[in-house]
Chains A and B, each alone.
Chain A
């Protein structure tokens, strides 16, 4: 058994815990020593296909509260899987500290090595170093929080009945995308701070007192008074507010405390996943680049034999395959393909730049330290800004990207192709399509009619005439009205002309 002695992996080898531990050691050496990655401690968990389906249905979290929608997802995934329409992912990795990485028992040894390199080092490094994750997610606390959330929802179900909890969760899930804060919230001053500031202000007024000011006409007009009242109301309610769930949790008049807590849980989960949505392409690109690098090094150091390497390459190439737009298999960009290609391209620019690259990327072309450049990109960018910064003309040519303008009515117009004149336009358009702020509707709560019927007013700022899908919007507003307890109105306003395009109304069902 020479193969066991020198710990080499050949193709088709079954995995066992011993081999897993040894290969992990080799990978760690390369990842931390040679590539300079920085990772959370890893916890590798071996699971079966059924457990993988379980994990799928609860959006990848090992702990999740109970809701029918997860059962629905499970039923659908299971049907697809059983009919062979879809294969399962090789791994799931969770942004937590320690980083939990699920691997499937069906994988061969070569695949396990790939998965470890991809998830336990690639994704893990990205989670730990990327700024969005550092700022918005608490990797150390998420598992405890999910444990709490699961227990809390279960207790609520026990106490208030499953139907009551389901009603709140349904509504909260419908608003999950509007439960994300995109900018850090302003810190609310405490009462002591307020009092201190008021005292300082008074002292300043006394110091600078001048009787002459008294003679100026000061009385505000009626219009000024009403705008002042509106401004005061907005200030008190914290309006306008884009985080609908946050607003409801803090201000909805009829919610019970446990309902607010459930909204809070859903909002926290939405916020936790928001960086993943913003960095999907980079995250996958980073992990794919890392595993490619590591697997090649393993092969070079003869820890992986040629057969296993071919097995790896087979699965690698199918992961990074990008069908062309007219291909039957095409459905949008493959984040693995684009991410991996961009990372490899950066490496190329660092190591063997062309003249063109020196013009486009003067600060790192030819610098040599590709991993340093990549590590910086991984920690400081998200998909949209990464493309804006790093997409090179060479890559645009390689993918033969072209930009199409669609005005919704007439024929599509090709307005940029992969040539000198088109590079910048293509790069900007592509970055826009990865910009969640542009891709998701811009909706905020603008006012509450406090004097009359407490109607909640929302506004959708419509860009380029892209309005909301009516049927779903009505359904979501009904959910929103349920939580708010009074009528709700959403107005679609054209962002440039402030013209009202459409109004949706919803009222809560009589209870």
Chain B
């Protein structure tokens, strides 16, 4: 008997199978994930319980159908029946006694299982990307890969190139005429033969001398000399990396109701999740504004409360300042997303649009504007801001705009704004 402790064996043996399974059911899972995300938050995908239809997951087998034909069943637990009794048919679908191998698995139309949080978010954010990402400058940090670059005479034993080393060794041995083992043993055999017969003492003597000389030579010339040894050489090659910055501009003024703020926050949470998971190199700048704009950190952007009037241009000014200070546009891909209820101080509209047109849009790869509204959409006229932006978009500026008035619209709108497929984005834009 032999007891083996397998508990520390590598976990996740079935991971490969799971990936195949998810790929197989991809479409249904995607639909289910998106449906589930409309009900619950994205950043908090709940327990990840997903139910999908099993059409592509059916494993058909040839088996008897359950409803037809004549059968005998033997069942335990008789209490009252005697021979010849009639029992009313139980309602269709098995029931008493009718479980003779039928209905196994195939009646199960919805297949329930649990997605991990990672899988959930990956599927959720699939096919999204930042548009028009350009490689503006090579950055050294974090982005070099080792590439094979010939051979070197020094290195770590792990990089020893045996083929090259042995080739050098062979050519050196040939050039220096190092006697081979076969040659030595051949002469030894000849000597042994002559010694036994003892007929040609001269030849024996000569052979012995030859052998002696060759053995000395063989000792003098090593099989592998340090000069033969070669190592694989690797060179660090910098890899171009696109660097990008995303500006999140959010209106938190008094005109924004709790509902609107909630929508805007949900949008940014999604955006933030998307950026942090997909792009390691993207920096995010949070700017919130009332009649004053301020760059804040992530924590206070999402959580702290503020109130005041609305002057949109302040946010643009703040963004301009940060851009000038830290993100020169010739080196950075600049993106911006703005969320607002479209309410602005009347006198500020012209200024804001001017700022946007002259200072922000020229350096932006993409500018997304999200207008949030009340859930019932009562005040659904076109706002000043919307009309102004619309004119800009018509003029061919890289500006996309959407309206949202319910939580369930956030995700579809988000997908439209950041779909990988340009056509999709533009068709609706």
Q: Is the CB of A98 within 8 A of B2?
A: yes
- Residue-wise interface mask of B (54-66) relative to A, using a CB-CB cutoff of 8 A (1 in contact, 0 not): 0001111111111
Q: Is the CB of B68 within 8 A of A421?
A: no
Interface residues of A in 23-42 (CB under 8 A from B): 24, 28, 41-42
Q: Is the CB of A411 within 8 A of B83?
A: no
Q: Is the CB of A331 within 8 A of B99?
A: yes
A404 to B70, CA, bound (A): 11
A333 to B100, CA, bound (A): 10
Residues of A within 8 Å of B309, CB to CB, are none
- Residue-wise interface mask of B (85-103) relative to A, using a CB-CB cutoff of 8 A (1 in contact, 0 not): 1111100000011111110
Interface residues of A in 458-511 (CB under 8 A from B): 460, 462-473, 475-476, 479
Interface-facing stretch out of A74-82, A139-147, A234-242, A292-300: A74-82
Shortest Cβ distance from A434 into B: residue: B74
A468 to B11, CA, bound (A): 41
Residues of B within 8 Å of A41, CB to CB, are 1-2
Give min CB distance, A96 to chain B, whole Å: 13
Interface residues of A in 428-453 (CB under 8 A from B): 429-430, 432-433, 439-441, 443
Residues of B within 8 Å of A479, CB to CB, are 60
Q: Is the CB of B20 within 8 A of A162?
A: yes
Shortest Cβ distance from A78 into B: residue: B114
Shortest Cβ distance from A100 into B: residue: B4
Residues of A within 8 Å of B88, CB to CB, are 411-412
Give min CB distance, A327 to chain B, whole Å: 7
Of A67, A78, A330, A466, most buried by chain B (CB within 10 Å of CB) is A466
Residues of A within 8 Å of B381, CB to CB, are none
- Residue-wise interface mask of A (374-396) relative to B, using a CB-CB cutoff of 8 A (1 in contact, 0 not): 00000000000000000000000
Residues of A within 8 Å of B75, CB to CB, are 325, 330, 401-402, 404
Shortest Cβ distance from A43 into B: residue: B2
Q: Is the CB of B77 within 8 A of A400?
A: yes
Q: Is the CB of A465 within 8 A of B68?
A: yes
A contacts with B, residue count (CB < 8 A):
102
Shortest Cβ distance from B75 into A: residue: A325
Q: Is there a chain A Cβ closer than 8 Å to B16's Cβ?
A: yes
Q: A51-B7, A76-B113 are in contact. Are A57 and B60 (CB under 8 A)?
A: no
Shortest Cβ distance from A439 into B: residue: B101
Q: Is the CB of B78 within 8 A of A400?
A: yes
Interface residues of B in 99-153 (CB under 8 A from A): 99-102, 106, 111-114
Residues of A within 8 Å of B97, CB to CB, are 325, 404, 406, 412
Interface residues of A in 297-344 (CB under 8 A from B): 322-327, 330-333
Q: Is there a chain A Cβ closer than 8 Å to B346's Cβ?
A: no
A441 to B102, CA, bound (A): 12
Q: Is there a chain B Cβ closer than 8 Å to A363's Cβ?
A: no
Q: Is the CB of A177 within 8 A of B1?
A: no
A53 to B277, CA, bound (A): 30
Q: Is there a chain B Cβ closer than 8 Å to A20's Cβ?
A: yes
Interface-facing stretch out of B21-29, B159-167, B287-295, B324-332: B21-29
Which of B49, B57, B76, B100 lies in contact with A72, CB distance below 8 A?
B57
Residues of B within 8 Å of A418, CB to CB, are 78
Give min CB distance, A321 to chain B, whole Å: 11
Shortest Cβ distance from A425 into B: residue: B72
- Residue-wise interface mask of A (394-423) relative to B, using a CB-CB cutoff of 8 A (1 in contact, 0 not): 000001111111111011111111110110
Shortest Cβ distance from B9 into A: residue: A51
Give min CB distance, A297 to chain B, whole Å: 18
A166 to B23, CA, bound (A): 12
Residues of A within 8 Å of B21, CB to CB, are 68-72, 74-75
A53 to B15, CA, bound (A): 12
Residues of B within 8 Å of A408, CB to CB, are 67-71
A253 to B339, CA, bound (A): 64
Q: Is there a chain A Cβ closer than 8 Å to B18's Cβ?
A: yes
Interface residues of A in 168-183 (CB under 8 A from B): 170, 173-178
A451 to B19, CA, bound (A): 45
Q: Is there a chain A Cβ closer than 8 Å to B5's Cβ?
A: yes
Q: Is the CB of A332 within 8 A of B99?
A: yes
Q: Is there a chain A Cβ closer than 8 Å to B378's Cβ?
A: no
Shortest Cβ distance from A443 into B: residue: B62
Q: Is there a chain A Cβ closer than 8 Å to B156's Cβ?
A: no
Q: Is there a chain B Cβ closer than 8 Å to A138's Cβ?
A: no
Shortest Cβ distance from A55 into B: residue: B13
Which of B7, B61, B70 lies in contact with A407, CB distance below 8 A?
B70
Q: A46-B5, A441-B64 are in contact. Are A415 and B83 (CB under 8 A)?
A: yes
Give min CB distance, A251 to chain B, whole Å: 20
A73 to B87, CA, bound (A): 38
Shortest Cβ distance from A398 into B: residue: B76
Residues of B within 8 Å of A333, CB to CB, are 76
Give min CB distance, B117 to chain A, whole Å: 14
A433 to B102, CA, bound (A): 13
A476 to B184, CA, bound (A): 71
Q: Is the CB of B58 within 8 A of A326?
A: no
A400 to B76, CA, bound (A): 5
Of B17, B21, B82, B86, most buried by chain A (CB within 10 Å of CB) is B17
Residues of B within 8 Å of A76, CB to CB, are 111-113
Give chain A's interface secondary structure class. Answer: mixed
Give min CB distance, A269 to chain B, whole Å: 15
Q: Is there a chain B Cβ closer than 8 Å to A105's Cβ?
A: yes
A70 to B13, CA, bound (A): 11
Q: Is the CB of B84 within 8 A of A414?
A: yes
Shortest Cβ distance from B73 into A: residue: A404
Residues of A within 8 Å of B73, CB to CB, are 403-404, 406, 429, 433
Which of B1, B61, B79, B81 lies in contact with A28, CB distance below 8 A?
B1
Residues of B within 8 Å of A325, CB to CB, are 75-77, 96-97
Which of A75, A326, A402 lies in contact with B114, CB distance below 8 A?
A75
Give min CB distance, B423 to chain A, whole Å: 27
Q: Is the CB of B78 within 8 A of A473?
A: no
Q: A324-B77, A417-B81, A441-B62 are in contact. Are A466 and B71 (CB under 8 A)?
A: yes
Q: Is the CB of A404 within 8 A of B72?
A: yes
A57 to B6, CA, bound (A): 17
Which of B18, B77, B106, B113 lies in contact with A469, CB distance below 8 A?
B106
Q: Is there a chain A Cβ closer than 8 Å to B3's Cβ?
A: yes
Interface residues of A in 63-114 (CB under 8 A from B): 66-72, 74-76, 78-79, 82, 98, 102, 105
Which of A71, A332, A430 lies in contact with B17, CB distance below 8 A?
A71
Q: Is there a chain A Cβ closer than 8 Å to B304's Cβ?
A: no
Q: A28-B1, A399-B76, A403-B72 are in contact. Are A472 and B63 (CB under 8 A)?
A: yes
Shortest Cβ distance from B63 into A: residue: A469
Which of B57, B69, B87 lies in contact with A412, CB distance below 8 A?
B87
Shortest Cβ distance from A480 into B: residue: B62
Give min CB distance, A316 to chain B, whole Å: 19
Shortest Cβ distance from B5 into A: residue: A46
A79 to B24, CA, bound (A): 18
Which of B13, B20, B82 lies in contact with A51, CB distance below 8 A?
B13
Q: Is the CB of B76 within 8 A of A105?
A: no
Q: Is the CB of A71 within 8 A of B70?
A: no
A472 to B77, CA, bound (A): 34
Q: Is the CB of B65 within 8 A of A68?
A: no
Of B66, B82, B113, most buried by chain A (CB within 10 Å of CB) is B113
Q: Is there a chain B Cβ closer than 8 Å to A11's Cβ?
A: no
Which of A20, A177, A430 lies in contact with B61, CB distance below 8 A?
A177
A163 to B62, CA, bound (A): 24
Which of A401, A411, A439, A468 lies in contact with B78, CB distance below 8 A?
A401
Instruction: Please name 10 pairs of A and B residues whose Cβ atoms are closer than 8 Å in the assembled complex, sorted by A.
Output: A44-B1, A51-B11, A70-B14, A74-B14, A74-B17, A325-B76, A401-B78, A439-B100, A465-B69, A472-B63
User: 8 tightest A-B contacts by CB?
Assistant: A324-B77, A71-B21, A466-B69, A71-B17, A75-B113, A475-B60, A465-B69, A469-B65
Identify the B interface with A (CB < 8 A). Answer: 1-7, 9, 11, 13-14, 16-24, 49, 57-79, 81-89, 96-102, 106, 111-114
Beyond the given pairs A71-B19, A71-B20, A469-B106, 10 more chain A to chain B contacts, judged by CB atoms under 8 angstroms and listed by A's residue number, are A20-B3, A41-B1, A68-B17, A178-B62, A332-B99, A411-B88, A412-B86, A417-B78, A418-B78, A476-B61
